[in-house]
Amino acid sequence: MRYSSFFFLFLLLNLNSKAQSTNQKNILQFVFTSDAHYGIKRKTFRNDTAVDGHTVNAAMIKEMNTLPGIQLPVDGGVSAGKLAGPVDYVIEGGDIANRMEIPDQSDAKSWRQFCSDYMNGLTLTDHYGKKTRLLIVPGNHDITNAIGFYKPMKPKVDPTSMVAIYNLMMKPAKMLTTKNYDYKKDKINYSKNIDGIHFMFITLWPDSSERIWMEKDLKSVSPKTPVILFTHDQPECEAKHFTNPDKARGINANDRFEDLVDEVYKDGTKAVAGKTDIEQRGWASFLKMHPNIKAYFHGNENFNEYYVYKGPDNDVALNTFRVDSPMKGDSSRADETKLSFQVITIDTKTFNMTVRDCLWNTNPEHPEKSIRWGESKTIKLR
């Protein structure tokens, strides 16, 4: 029997399609970014000056949308050399709204711009062909807007972002409003079991209060199940984010504590730039009790960095991934060609995870040629 060339072409395409499907079968993929900081301006961006957060974040989202057709680097990591393909989740690590210090815009306006860019602008799809889901944790600026600050803000408080994040991520039976939101009890802590991996999303930093929720959550998780944590602050946290040790004074311009985590600062009396060794030791002890916590992702101090957190006494080892900010990057603020987000690719059969630095603005003159791959790191989750 003779077969036409069209038949063989059809057969080849079908086999390739099946091969691609097989290649994607055990792959879970995320994009991680943080510190969108709507409400402030970049000094320069793509031949313009004083560029607002709405413009910059929208440009980043546009580049994210091209990822499925971009080849991953040949770096020995998961899916190396293959097309990036579907993205299952986009994760925002907080500080969606910049703090509302005068003359910066309100939290409500920043949240509207975020929705326009991230919720309406993303066109990515997951491995099932469904719209890529957005996962969010709050940052210190989002929280400060909700509870107040020691410098003048206008308005004095605006919890729009915190309420919206809570309702979207926590899915309460009765939605919170800006009138009944209470930061002391309305924490944004949630988890997801995805393809044999437990993902935890917490408010700001794993202080003693957050660890109560984390301990309860982990009781339902097998010690053999790898756990990945997403939050805003770095593992060391910042002294100023703790609760003022002089509780009677609260948030004030003299002490300058921000009361963002419930734990009272113990390493000093009024040293907002002081050490956090005592606080970290509680966190390090928790890590020792839960060795299946394999990775920690954060923003806050914004540049791409892959490092091992060892604790104040050098007695733990936690793979940690710090991500850049489109508006306040430590390096990319001065050099826009270093703007980046992270692409996290996990093989759920081998439990290998590769995190890649995706430089999305390397050619500001020709944005269509902007994406390049930077540093990458592969770790074993199990």
Structural domain contains residue 212: yes
Structural domain contains residue 8: no
The burial of 85, by beta-carbon neighbours within 10 Å (0-12 exposed, 13-18 middle, 19 or more buried), is given as: buried
Instruction: List C-alpha distances in Å: 258 to 102, 145, 251, 254.
Output: 18, 11, 6, 11
Q: Which residues of the chain have pLDDT under 50?
A: 1-23
| pLDDT recorded at residue 292 | 98
| pLDDT recorded at residue 73 | 98
Residues in CB range of 134: below 8 A, 6 or more apart? 89, 90, 91, 92, 118, 119, 122, 168
Structural domain contains residue 14: no
Is-above-0.75 flag for pTM?
Answer: yes
Q: Which tokens hold the place of 185?
A: 């009890």
| pLDDT recorded at residue 370 | 84
| pLDDT recorded at residue 248 | 83
Instruction: Report helix, strand and coil shares of the chain as percent, to nearest 5.
Output: 25, 25, 50
C-alpha span between 189 and 69 (Å, rounded): 34
CA atoms within 13 A on the CB side of 114: 29
What residues make up the domain containing 255? Answer: 27-380
Q: Provide the number of structural domains found in the chain.
A: 1
| pLDDT recorded at residue 192 | 98
Structural domain contains residue 182: yes
Structural domain contains residue 232: yes
Structural domain contains residue 164: yes
Q: Which tokens hold the place of 306?
A: 């892959």
| pLDDT recorded at residue 25 | 79
Q: What is the CATH number of the domain that holds 280?
A: 3.60.21.10
Check if the beta carbon of residue 40 is closer than 8 Å to that of residue 97: no
Structural domain contains residue 338: yes
| pLDDT recorded at residue 147 | 98
Structural domain contains residue 18: no
Residues in CB range of 378: below 8 A, 6 or more apart? 75, 76, 77, 78, 352, 353, 354, 355
